[in-house]
Amino acid sequence: MGVHIEQVVKIVREAAVIIRNREIDLNITIKGAADYATEIDFKVQQFIEKELKNAYPKIQFMGEEKSNEEVDFNEKFWVLDPVDGTNNLVHDYKEVAISLALFDKREGVLGVVYQPYTEELYTANKGQGAYLNGNKIQVSKVKTLSKSLISFGASPYYKELAEENFEVFKEIFTRCEDFRRTGSAAMELAYVASGRVESFFEKRLKLWDYAAGILLVKEAGGKFTGYKGDELELEVCSDIVATNGKIHSELLEILH
């Protein structure tokens, strides 16, 4: 049985109602420094996992709020971040997203990023392009870092990287047009895919942070690598950089 993106989108849209329901007690769980999970995270994951297993029982499920030890990366598996931008949600800062991807033999083949407040829906199927609310999108055509808007993640769970990170931020800031930052990697990657910014980069992201975004960026004509220009290892935290492709080499020179 093939996976139908319309059915996947329907599940994601239904789950978004949980995020918009501010009457739900957040019941915040502290996982680490600046790293939280809320009752909403768990409810969204439980709902999507249940619906996907009902629709596609043979496909494995990987989610941020579970151990995932049983997942075989060489087979088909879903990757879900139920609320990308949980810290934003805690502060009622409405830059959050549901990020869902399907991988087959370590390669992303379907990606969905949905912003529940603006109702922007980003979708991608491998080889079929990337779309925003049904309209095809492409990365920007800006050719130089000096003319680029750059978004970044500050690796808030890893404060020990602050000195190293901010040296890099300063170097890039002095050479680009300006910075942008939402606090949601999924949304930032969607913005790269839609041409709103030229690049997004961050150290030590987990697969669910960028799983859908990697396909969106590639299908929109962009480039997605590690800081050294390398392919990413799915099982470990990764330093990721996504660009429109045209400024990739220039940015890597600074990051690496």
Residue type, 11: I
For 152-178, the pLDDT digits (tens) are 999 988 999 999 999 999 999 999 999
For 196-231, the pLDDT digits (tens) are 999 999 999 999 999 999 999 999 999 999 999 999
Residue among 243, 252, 255, 253 nearest 147 (CA): 243
pLDDT at 29 over 70: no
pLDDT at 38 over 90: no
What pLDDT shows up at residue 65?
80
User: Strand 60-63 vs strand 76-84: parallel, antiparallel, or unpaired?
Assistant: parallel
For 87-99, the pLDDT digits (tens) are 898 888 999 999 9
